[in-house]
Amino acid sequence: MISGAHIIVYSKDADADRAFIRDILGFSSVDAGHGWLIFALPPSEVAVHPAEDNGRHELYFLCDDLKQEMTSLTNKGVKCSAVREERWGSITMIKLPSGSEIGLYEPKHPTAHKSQSAMAAKNPS
């Protein structure tokens, strides 16, 4: 049985990006040894999109109120890109200290975990 997912973000400045995820985004972590932090993530989901080539992967965090989350991040000194409205959600990009970007979006589509939560509420064990 699969019990979770392990996402890898490659970085030219891993220490700075780890500190950002710990200190700015506030994710708890364990030290796997020698300062190698592995972060706990909120509930996650995976989508498979068609592409011309294999090997490209993206990381997006979800939120319920993008403007509120952007304000919170801005107050911590984080620069967010302008919001793009897509048919699937409102999205901003967050620049990590290494220069890499991760996405943050407020989905307009149903999400897997909200669907699971609603089903669990309807059918308590």
Reduce the DSSP state of residue 23 to 3 states and report it. helix
**For residue 114, what pLDDT is reported?**
63
More confident: 35 or 80: 80
Joined together, the tokens standing for residue 69 give 């989350």
**For residue 123, what pLDDT is reported?**
60
**Residue with the two structure tokens 């996402």:** 7
**Residue with the two structure tokens 């020698």:** 34
On average, the pLDDT of the chain sits at 88
Reduce the DSSP state of residue 31 to 3 states and report it. strand
The CA-CA-CA angle for residues 57, 58, 63, to 5°, reads 150
**For residue 68, what pLDDT is reported?**
97
